[in-house]
Structure formats: C-alpha cells, structure tokens
Chains A and B, each alone.
Chain A
Amino acid sequence: MSRAGRLPDALERGRAASNLADPVEVVIRASGVQKVYGRSSSEEGGVAALRGVDVVVASCEWTAIVGPSGCGKSTLLNVLAGIDAPTAGTVELLGNDLGRLDERARARLRLLRVGFVFQRFHLLPVLTAAENIELPMAEAGVARRDRRQRSRELLDFVGLGGRTDHRPPQLSGGEQQRVAIARAVANQPDVVFADEPTGELDSRTSAQILELFSSLNAHGTTLLTVTHDPEIARRARRVIEMSDGRIVSDGRPAR
C-alpha cells in the first residue's frame, strides 16, 4: 500500500459528461422495496428476501449494511444497484427511476456511474490486471491511450503498479480485490457497491482494502458496503442493520 493513498487526478469527482441524469444530492432513494424469489410474488412457495425496505442514501455517504446471514443484504444491494428488479416498490438511483429504465439503459447507468466490488473479485482470468481495469473504460468508449494511462494510475493507486501485466490467477486474493476496486472506479462512478469485499481476505489484507475504500470515500465517492466485518462497519459513517428482510436499525456506529 506504500504507493497508494493519493487518488489519480482522473479519479477526482466533479465529472461533467454524462447523458444520464445529472449528479444529485440523493444517490439512492428506495421505498417499499420487496423482493420475493421463486413463485411469482405469491406468498406460498416464494422466498421473501425483502419485506418492505425504505432507504435514502445521500451523496458522499459511506453506508454499511450488516445483519445475519440470509437476512437479505445482498438482495438489497442488488436491487438498489439495478442488478435485480424488486417485486414491489420503487428504486431511484442517481435520479433515475430504475423501474422505468430498460435493461440497456440500466446497464449504461451501471457502466458509467456505478462501480461494483464483489466478494470473489470476479476479474476476467484471461485478461491482465491492466486490461481488467481498462475493460469498463473501453466499453464506455474511452480512447485507448487514455485508458492505458488511467489503468496505470489506478494500479499505482491500489499499490499494484508493478503488476500491470499479471493475470488474476497470478495475483493473491487481496491483490485481485485491489484490481477489482481499481476496475470499479475506472469510469469515475458516483457510487460504488461492494458485497462483502473483505469476505475472502485475512485481517491484514482487509485493512488495506479498507484504506482504499476510505480514500475513495474521502474523495467523494458514495459507498454502499454489505459486510460481516466489524471493522468496515466501524469505518462507515452509517450502518444499516437488517433482519429477516427488514431494516431494524439505521444510524451512526458508536466510535
């Protein structure tokens, strides 16, 4: 992490170009969100993962979602990010009512303004670290030279400047997750969703990842993190506790 810490200029927020809705103070506004898996929303047979969730996330917040396994954390994250459609309720992401966007537009929104970090990294194993970071930029139409340079800067930012051409199988779990974080912020998203980003990592490596998140948040990226890691929950400014598909508490952690 020695070289890490300073966010590349390219990452600084305050972007202008985006034909989707303008940056807003409220990043996420969800109301009455329900999600039933299986049987089409009927009571019997289906699994009710979310039973009516209301939540508003403001710009620059770092929110942690905690709760026992199976309480619906991942489901909520996916619904808020536009990955899954809710069975009932509405989700507004960056000023866009997700229910009114088609999949194409939702994908575009995710590509340009949302970043994702997964528990198991989910990098493309045949691409190098740099290429994995360039991929979303290439899809967004960033010129080859610019994305080359930015991927180098991002690798420096996550402390992997020397591993540009290494492929994920040649990297440790922590290193892969750092590449994944670099990929998540490649297109300078307004908000980054992370589902147990340290779930596979030891505590020392987790601390490094946490540093990166802190740094991102400090530079204005809104963060929404599902976690079992009390350390993340401590660092987040806001903790949402869930149980059985509902939010049971929402507030700042005691420091």
Chain B
Amino acid sequence: MIVRASLRGLLHHRGRTLLALAGIGVSSALLVDMTMLASGLTHSFAALTRAQGYPVRVTPAGTLPFDSEAGISEAAAVSQQLREVPGVRSVAPVLGAQLYLVRSDSASEPLFTSGIDPAAQMLYLLVEGEEPGDDEIVVSGPLAEALGISVGDTVSLAVELDVALGRPRGSASYRISGVGDFLFNYAGERSVALPLARLQEITGRSDEVSLFAVAPAADADEEALVERISAAAPELSAYSTRDLTAALDQRLAYFRQLSTILGSISFGVATLLVATIVTIGVRERFGEIATLRAIGVAGHRVQIGIVVEGLALSAGGALLGLPIGLWMARRLDQILLTFPGIPARVSFFVFDGISVALAITLMVGIGALVGVIPGAQALRAPLGSALREEAD
C-alpha cells in the first residue's frame, strides 16, 4: 500500500516525473556511452588482433608493431627459429613498405604495401580471387573500387619516385590475384599485398621483415608462449594481445580520462536529479509522512516508500537511457572512425554488458538510496510539530 502510494504519487505528478525521467535518461545514456568508450577501443582492437588466429606479435627489440622503420634481419632464420618454439602453430611474416601506383594519366600515388607469406597471413580476408603468386598482388577493396579494377587486371607499381622528375622508377606490372578486406586498414585505405620474397627483392631489403605474427597451437597458452619466444629470441620483442592492448591502453589514457570524467559527471547529474526530485517529493509529503507515523506506520516502511520512488525514477531513467546511449554510441563511432589512421574495423564504443550493467546498477542503486536522507530527516522531525505543520 505504501509502495503503491509512492508509485501513484509519481503518476500523479506526471509532468515532473516525465521531466525527471528524461533528464535521468539523458545522463544515463551519457554514462552508458562513457562506459563503452572507456574500454571500447582496446576491446575491439584485441578482437581484431586475434581475428585471424595470430594473436602474438614479434618485433624488433623495444618497438611496437609498425612503430618504427626498424626491421628484423635474417628473417628466414628467425622465422625458422620461431617455428621451432614449442606451442607455435604458424608464423606469418609481414614486411611493410611503400610502393607507388603508376598511372599514365596522373601523378603516382603512394600505396601502403605489405609483403606476406600467402600460405600464412593475417592481414586480410580474401573477398574475391585467391592468394597472390609470383608477379601477383592482392588489392584492398577501396583501391579496386577507385581504379575500377578487379581480379585478372594488371597494375603497374614502382619502388621509387624520381624526385626531380616526379616520375616513378623501377616499375613493374602485377596481375591482381584477389581483392582483400584488409583488417587493419582505416576506412577507405588503398593498399596492396604481395609475396614477401618479391617485396624484399624489389625494395632491396633482402631477408628483412617488419614483424612476425605468431599463431599458437590450439592448446598453447598465449602468455606462456610469449615467454618462450622471448627466451628463444632475446634480440626481439614478443607481445601477447594482452601486452598490445596494454600498450594501446597507455596511449589511449587520454580517452580513458575523458570517459572517466564525463562518466562521473553524468553519474553525478543523474544522481543529483533523483535526489532533488525525491527530496522535493518528501518535502511535499512531509505532512503525509507525519500522518503515516502518527497512525503507527513504522519508520522503515515509510523509508521503503521513499526508496521505491527514487528507485522507480532512476530505473525508469536508466531504461530510457540505454537505447539512447546505444544509438548515440553508434553515431559517435561513425564520426570518430572517419579520422585517418584508425583501423575501420575497430570501434571506439563497445558494449560490455558487465561494465554497463555495473554502471547502471550503481546509478540506480545510489538514486534509490539518496531518498533515504530526506526520508530520515522527515522521520526525525518531532511528530507533533510535523502534524501541526501539515494542518497549517
């Protein structure tokens, strides 16, 4: 009956309740977004790193993948060495380089080019055609689209530009063997991949790679494997996906701070809103509460009614905020991912049920509990005077 009275009170003050719900909804939407942002990029990056089954990266000592120009020399021997580490299923070498697309009509365009082992690669998923053979390349979807080319066509790639003449040097033609979905490319990035040996040969970086991606055997523990690789090849750095995301996390500390601050603010706003509404409600019902006490309703029962009111408001607002938050996250993601250099496959906002549930639960819980304070005040007021006040 007490609970019914509380809920009906909210219905009775419909306008105020709706405004409060809207306010709490918007701030909990922001809270949801900030929770999703806090871990979103690292979560989705980790998923991406693992996507092709090659979660471990081996790079020149002290560098992160593709972080420096430094390369790993004597790559074939190192590759063999890695393969022999227990628990390694497959080793995928990658050499990053820049080639130039030679076009008859216009200036040459630089293309990010990867040398890969067609039998063991984790850079792209073929969407059309097959892995490249000699004199063959795989192009990214956006490149194929931009040039209007497809499997079987031929393109000309140069290793260098003659700076003085502005003309390519050392060009050769390659047949397109396939079109790939390059996992780590940013939105619309034009890139190509070709067999490692060929890229090493034309760039003069013989027996060199930028990094190895390592796939563990099904039963191998990723972290233990990284330890063994580090021991086997102390001149290199080995990273598990966890190490990589930790490194990324460090770089994105800025994002986390932002999301923490904005999240706390939205948390505070939502809580204050509930507190204000409930306090006003309690204040308004001061006499009613006195009446309940006078006729013998126990204090904790009165408090339950007040807490239910706060709970209904904050839970209702949170329920409203969840879809708004998810929608906002999608929109914001679209905007943020148009920034160049960010893999199109990652998301800034990733829905992590547990953290979102935790944030929302905390907000709803505190929202419900803030009512206890004005409630306790109303319960502590001398009963006779409170009744008298109500009569005036």
Contacts and interface: CB of A to CB of B under 8 A. Distances in A.
Contacts of B391: 118-120
A131 B296 contact: no
A139 B299 contact: no
A84 B296 contact: no
Contacts of A103: 299
B12 A135 contact: no
B387 interface: yes
Interface stretch (B20-28, B53-61, B138-146, B286-294): B286-294
Interface in A118-132: 118-120, 122, 124-127, 131
Contact of B384 (A78, A114, A119, A126): A78
Given A119-B391, A126-B12, A114 B383 contact: no
Contacts of B1: 127, 131, 134-135, 138-139
Contact of B297 (A74, A107, A126, A184): A107
A115 B295 CA distance: 7
A125 B63 CA distance: 72
B14 interface: no
Interface in B375-392: 382-384, 387-388, 390-391
A73 interface: no
Contacts of B383: 78, 83-84
Q: Is the interface of A mostly helix, strand, loop or mixed?
A: helix
Interface string B356-392: 0000000000000000000000000011100110110
Contacts of A110: 294-296
Given A74-B388, A119-B391, A107 B8 contact: no
A78 B391 CA distance: 14
B298 interface: yes
A39 interface: no
B95 to A, nearest CB: 74
B170 interface: no
Contacts of B384: 74-75, 78, 83-84
B298 A83 contact: no
B119 interface: no
Contacts of B388: 74
Given A110-B296, A126-B5, A120 B390 contact: yes
Given A110-B294, A122-B291, A104 B12 contact: no
B330 interface: no
A104 B298 contact: yes
A124 B288 contact: yes
Contacts of B9: 126
A128 B222 CA distance: 66
A122 B8 contact: no
Interface in A134-161: 134-136, 138-139
Contact of A127 (B5, B11, B298): B5
A136 B8 contact: no
Contact of A109 (B8, B292, B296, B382): B296
Interface of B: 1-2, 4-5, 8-9, 11-12, 287-288, 291-299, 301, 382-384, 387-388, 390-391
Given A111-B297, A136-B296, 16 more contacts: A74-B388, A83-B387, A104-B299, A107-B293, A107-B299, A108-B298, A110-B296, A111-B298, A120-B390, A122-B288, A126-B12, A131-B1, A131-B4, A131-B5, A135-B297, A139-B298
30 contacts: A74-B388, A84-B382, A84-B384, A107-B293, A107-B299, A108-B298, A109-B296, A110-B295, A111-B298, A114-B296, A116-B294, A118-B291, A118-B294, A119-B391, A122-B288, A122-B387, A124-B5, A124-B288, A126-B5, A126-B9, A126-B11, A126-B12, A127-B1, A131-B5, A134-B1, A135-B295, A135-B297, A139-B1, A139-B297, A139-B301
